[in-house]
């Protein structure tokens, strides 16, 4: 009786996944057109990412509220305001920075990076805007690829199937960018594995959001390197890597580097180690009581009443044998020695 219900639930979740993916592409198009019409060219990327994050959060929240009866749809899609969430985001920031550093250090040792820093004070103001761009872009990616749509796909095909499916989907979306290659496709796959594991281990987007932001923003804003083929993100630092293509990724950046692909794969067990406590806290099975509730006191009382009856027990007085002045049931008081002793006394008097 339960198999058809489960199959229907998986099919419904699959339809919700398709609807969420369709909405993502619609929201992406609306954000792009809206940013072009509302902002100047310099501000257009930041406005586009802000609009996209807003449309995804609101749209997926509406789907969760309407289709799944979620009481807190924003929290349920991966952004709960639970205790310790800033620490989870900080954990993701540290992990993303460590991965970026592990990729950049060998580059500086084997080839080097030619870095040019501008002293223009206006450039430092734009640096804050670029940091906001990466923050919103990371949020939009996490909500789109690890939020409501991913959760529906998990219910439909399981966590492993959902992770593989979204890794291929993200890699295809990234492959549409100019300059992509087989290495960039592989890096996109490994990066999605890492971020999906961060969500599944913590049941929230905080770790993945911090990791996504630090991995991209640190390379662009600190080292001036290209991110997915775009090298104009940092107005302060411009970096030109020198070294083999498999190490640097060329003009496409580390997103097209085979060395970065290996580093991201090696980061998976490290992420599992870092999120061990969070995984235990939010993925440990909850023991739900089942069966028929039993009141042991009531059961013992019912068993006693069945054997002894419900009437109150009568009082029974137990007398001590040989007590003087003991009253008989007839109410007469017998001598201390009893009848035998009185007869013996009369015989002794006759003999005298």
Length of the chain: 352
Q: What is the pLDDT of residue 341?
A: 45
- Residue entry with tokens 């954000």: 31
Handedness of CA 207, 188, 139, 219 (dihedral sign): positive
d(CA 290, CA 167): 39
CA trace torsion 153, 156, 158, 163 (10° rounding) = -20
Each residue's pLDDT tens digit, 210-235? 999 999 999 999 999 999 988 878 77
d(CA 98, CA 12): 40
Q: What is the pLDDT of residue 238?
A: 86
pLDDT > 70: percent of the chain? 80
Each residue's pLDDT tens digit, 227-264? 998 887 877 888 888 889 999 998 899 999 999 999 99
Q: Half-sphere exposure (CA, 13 Å, Cβ side) for 342?
A: 5
Contact 187, 257 (CB under 8 A): yes
Identify which has the larger pLDDT, 184 or 288.
Answer: 184
d(CA 45, CA 246): 29
Contacts 24+ apart (CB under 8 A), 53-57: 53/136, 53/139, 53/140, 53/143, 55/27, 55/30, 55/31, 56/24, 56/27, 56/140, 56/143, 56/144, 56/147, 57/143
> Above 90 in pLDDT, residue 137?
yes
Each residue's pLDDT tens digit, 56-111? 999 999 999 999 999 999 999 999 999 999 999 999 999 999 999 999 999 988 88
pTM of the model: 0.78
Instruction: Output the 3-class SS for 191-255.
Output: HHHHHHHHHHHHCCCHHHHHHHHHHHHHHHHHCCCCECCECCCCCCEEEEECCCHHHHCHHHEHH
Query: What is Dmax (Cα atoms) for the chain?
Result: 149
d(CA 255, CA 258): 9
Where is 113: in which H helix or E strand?
strand 113-117
Handedness of CA 18, 23, 26, 32 (dihedral sign): negative
């Amino acid at each position: 009786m339960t198999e058809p219900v489960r199959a229907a639930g998986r099919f419904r979740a699959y339809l919700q996944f398709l609807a969420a993916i369709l909405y993502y592409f619609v929201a992406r198009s609306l954000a792009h057109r809206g940013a072009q019409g509302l902002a100047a060219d310099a501000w257009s990327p930041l406005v586009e990412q802000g609009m996209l994050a807003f449309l995804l959060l609101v749209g997926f929240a509406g789907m969760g509220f309407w289709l799944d009866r979620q009481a807190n749809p924003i929290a349920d899609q991966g952004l709960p305001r639970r205790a310790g969430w800033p620490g989870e985001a900080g954990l993701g920031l540290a992990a993303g920075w460590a991965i970026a550093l592990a990729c950049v250090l060998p580059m500086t040792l084997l080839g080097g990076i030619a870095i040019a820093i501008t002293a223009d004070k206006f450039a430092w103001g734009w640096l804050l805007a670029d940091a906001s761009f990466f923050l919103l872009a990371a949020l939009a990616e996490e909500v789109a690829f690890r939020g409501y749509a991913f959760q529906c796909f998990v219910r439909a095909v399981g966590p492993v199937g959902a992770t593989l499916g979204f890794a291929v989907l993200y890699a295809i979306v990234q492959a549409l960018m100019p300059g992509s290659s087989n290495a960039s496709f592989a890096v996109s796959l490994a990066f999605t594995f890492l971020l999906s594991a961060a969500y599944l281990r913590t049941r929230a987007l905080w770790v993945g959001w911090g990791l996504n932001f630090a991995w991209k923003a640190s390379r662009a804003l600190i080292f001036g390197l290209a991110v997915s083929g775009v090298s104009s993100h940092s107005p302060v630092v411009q970096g030109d890597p020198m070294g083999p293509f498999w190490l640097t990724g060329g003009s496409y950046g580390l997103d097209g580097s085979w060395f970065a692909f290996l580093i991201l794969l090696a980061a998976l067990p490290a992420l599992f180690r870092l999120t061990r406590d969070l995984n235990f806290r939010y993925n440990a099975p909850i023991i739900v009581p089942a069966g028929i509730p039993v009141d042991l006191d009531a059961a013992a009382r019912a068993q006693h009443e069945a054997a002894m009856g419900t009437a109150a027990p009568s009082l029974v007085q137990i007398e001590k044998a040989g007590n003087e002045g003991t009253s008989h049931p007839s109410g007469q008081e017998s001598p201390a020695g009893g009848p035998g002793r009185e007869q013996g006394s009369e015989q002794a008097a006759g003999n005298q």
